[in-house]
Structure 1
Amino acid sequence: MIKSLRAMIAGGVLVFSFATAALSQNPAPTQANVPYGPHPLQVLDFYKAESAQPTPLLFFIHGGGWMNGDKANPDFLAQALKSGMSVVSINYRLIPDAISAGIKPAVKAPLEDAALALQFVRSKAKDWNIDKNRIAALGGSAGGFSSLWLAYHDDMAKSDDPDPVRRESTRVRCVMGFVPQTTLDPVLAREWIPNNMYGNHAFALPSYDEFIAQREKLQPWIAEYSPLSLVSPDDPPTYIYYDSVPAMGQPQKDPPHSANLGVRLSEALTKAGVECEFNYIGSTGIKHPDIFSFFVDQLQPKKK
């Protein structure tokens, strides 16, 4: 079970973190603000675990609705380093940056930045002593959405790209999302959560009503950028946690972070034969009630 939860209000958007150690105990990055692209927000922090052998890596994507947030104080940092796992935490272009640059849909910028950052990290595997085959993506809220999208998307490596970074894989060994959104389909989201009002900003639309009105036109983008639409049998083991109880079709106290969002994703993953742990308030039979143990089992070599 999550030991602590921080919710910071920043510009009206909840930024979730599920840190397990006091922030004052977190070490400084081994390398800070390493650029992986030309934009000022395309930077990451790297925390190196001491090891003679290449280490697993937690690849952390912060939340904030793709509107704000920061890479500082990635979750599970102290536990990861103590367990011999290195950590990367990224910043990325936000929705306002995408709109200013004319990127369509706007959500393309933060999601594809996550992919590029992961490719960059893999390109540093030798220098940073990382095992590029043992990488977990994780994040909360929109960071969880981005992590799931990255995990379920087909590999974005381009074998013939002149840039060696873009020849690196974007696949991960496992993925974890804390209260993540799982679809950008406004009709589906309203069926699950009648009072949902989240998602129109991903397409730079002024209102949810406009989002619904333009749904058919936006459908190709909705499918391309929704984790639920991308589920397939080759997807990695998944862990999703919600601090509420599913009640499909019922109004929710916190619609963008409702456990209802995890119900259909869990069903789709199970149907596809993908390992999935759907942990929520009152759930039973969870293999890893301690979330960090999920990463240990998935990333650390099994003891003989």
Structure 2
Amino acid sequence: MTTFHMFRGLLPMFLLVATAAADVTSENDPRLKRWLQRFPAADANRDGVLTEAEARGFRNRQQQQRRRTENRLPEPTHADVAYGPHQRNVLDVWLAESDEPTPLLIYIHGGGFVGGNKRGFSTAILKACQDSGISVAAIHYRFVSTDPFPAPQQDAARAVQFLRSKATDWNLDPQRVAAFGGSAGAGLSLWLGFHDDLADPDSDDPVARQSSRLVAVGSRGGQSSYDPRVIKDWVGGRAHEHPSIYKCYDVASLDALDDPKLQPLYDEVSAITHLTADDPPVWMLYSEPNAPLPADARPGQGIHHPVFGLKLKAAMDELGIENVYRHTSEFRGDRDADMVQFFRRHLLGGGRSAAGS
């Protein structure tokens, strides 16, 4: 039995008792004293005394470590492949075994456009896709801390085009390409899904000649608009004051975001402004409460509000585009499995063609 599992079994019993007493430590509680002897690493400050806070912290660290271990992705078929000139223009790809060209699902990580990692999706999604004959790719992109909007959007499109350019080498079907992500990665996936094709058939660059279009999109907590005034109107509170917003638009203050010269950029990077009737279906999931923000909401609180999905759903419904809206409060079953099943339908079930659509 691992240290984590032994400690997990003992700690809840202690916490039930400890909450009723102040300053319970290994010096006045025999159980904590025994646990300190068994789990000396729980004593964070190494003073020889185990406190309730240290016990909780140890348990949380053990849980986090277990999750990291369980979600360790296998080595990609091709790792850190450069798709552009910047050091963050790299991607991984896990190719499914197949005699026929395989569909491709691309993961785009979140992180407020200032952080995140391409290995941040679950092994369950990777396994389910590969078992279905779907290859998976995951990309990095430039952060707005050095390269403001629309650099991340441009990188995401370039990655799609690059992957299509490798179709023959990697046994990929360029007609069946989809993308998903969470938060910033969801916003980028939606943008790719709705933006006009960025292919330049006259380019000297063979990658730039490829299509940037998708056949389906998955969004977890995605923002359908990055226009701060739209966010303020839809969400309220101080959601539009998210710390990343200043870096996204390379401004120093909230007042600077009112500059009308920025409106074309707001429109360019917001997915919903590009939505047209020929765009692909979307699966979306939200977990924040579908309610007004509290009066004391923090800057950026609500940036994953369900209103982003509900506004998008209303617009897609009006255009007759398939969309699946989920909220965790009403969700039944495995969320990963539900999303993968959506992609199976559109990547394996004879869905729409993306390239040239």
Q: Contact conserved, 2:145 with 2:248, CA < 8 A, in 1?
A: no
Q: Distance in 2 between matches of 1:293 and 1:164?
A: 33
Unaligned runs of 5+ in 2: 1-66, 351-357
Residue 339 of structure 2 is aligned to residue 297 of structure 1: no
Q: Choose which of 98, 103, 108 in structure 2 pairs with 1:51.
A: 98
Q: Distance in 1 between matches of 2:113 and 2:341?
A: 28
Q: Choose which of 254, 261, 268 in structure 2 pairs with 1:208.
A: 254
Please report the RMSD computed on the Cα atoms of aligned residues, expressed in angstroms: 2.3
Q: Choose which of 31, 34, 57 in structure 1 pairs with 2:78.
A: 31
Name the CA shift for 1:189/1:250 in 2 (closer, same or farther; >3 Å).
farther
Q: Distance in 1 between matches of 2:102 and 2:201?
A: 25
- Greater Cα offset, 180-189 or 161-170: 180-189
- Greater Cα offset, 73-82 or 291-300: 73-82
Query: What are the within-5 Å matches in structure 2 for residues 1-304 of structure 1?
Result: 22-24=70-72, 26-75=73-122, 76-98=125-147, 106-195=148-237, 196=239, 197-198=241-242, 199-211=245-257, 213-214=258-259, 216-247=260-291, 254-283=301-330, 290-301=338-349
Q: Contact conserved, 1:136 with 1:174, CA < 8 A, in 2?
A: yes
Name the CA shift for 1:232/1:249 in 2 (closer, same or farther; >3 Å).
farther
Report the 3-state secondary structure (helix = DSSP H, G, I; strand = E; otherwise coil) of the residue aligned with 2:86.
coil
Q: Aligned residues, how many? A: 272
Letter in 2 for 1:79: A
Select the structure that is richer in helix.
Answer: 2
Q: Contact conserved, 1:193 with 1:250, CA < 8 A, in 2?
A: no
Structure 1 residue 241: Cα displacement:
0.6
Select the structure that is richer in strand.
Answer: 1
Name the CA shift for 1:295/1:242 in 2 (closer, same or farther; >3 Å).
same
Report the 3-state secondary structure (helix = DSSP H, G, I; strand = E; otherwise coil) of the residue aligned with 1:95.
coil
Q: Contact conserved, 2:217 with 2:281, CA < 8 A, in 1?
A: yes
Name the CA shift for 1:233/1:249 in 2 (closer, same or farther; >3 Å).
farther
Deviation string for 1:84-117 (max 9, x for gaps)?
Answer: 111110111111221xxxxxxx111111000001
Q: Distance in 1 between matches of 2:176 and 2:198?
A: 18
Deviation string for 1:27-86 (max 9, x for gaps)?
Answer: 110010100111111010011111111111111111111101111243421221122111
Q: Distance in 1 between matches of 2:119 and 2:332?
A: 34
Please identify the structure whose Cα radius of gyration is greater: 2
Name the CA shift for 1:222/1:53 in 2 (closer, same or farther; >3 Å).
same
Name the CA shift for 1:116/1:297 in 2 (closer, same or farther; >3 Å).
same
Q: Contact conserved, 2:104 with 2:176, CA < 8 A, in 1?
A: yes
Name the CA shift for 1:184/1:74 in 2 (closer, same or farther; >3 Å).
same
Q: Contact conserved, 1:179 with 1:241, CA < 8 A, in 2?
A: yes
Report the 3-state secondary structure (helix = DSSP H, G, I; strand = E; otherwise coil) of the residue aligned with 2:284.
strand
Structure 1 residue 250: Cα displacement:
6.8
Fraction of identical pairs, as percent = 38
Q: Distance in 1 between matches of 2:288 and 2:115?
A: 24
Q: Contact conserved, 1:61 with 1:91, CA < 8 A, in 2?
A: yes
Report the 3-state secondary structure (helix = DSSP H, G, I; strand = E; otherwise coil) of the residue aligned with 1:57.
strand
TM-score, L = length of structure 2: 0.71
Q: Distance in 1 between matches of 2:96 and 2:290?
A: 38
Q: Distance in 2 between matches of 1:191 and 1:248?
A: 12
Letter in 2 for 1:170: S
Unaligned runs of 5+ in 1: 1-18, 99-105
Name the CA shift for 1:250/1:171 in 2 (closer, same or farther; >3 Å).
farther
Name the CA shift for 1:37/1:188 in 2 (closer, same or farther; >3 Å).
same
Q: Contact conserved, 2:288 with 2:302, CA < 8 A, in 1?
A: no
Letter in 2 for 1:168: Q
Deviation string for 1:93-143 (max 9, x for gaps)?
Answer: 111221xxxxxxx11111100000110000000111111111111110000
Structure 1 residue 282: Cα displacement:
4.2
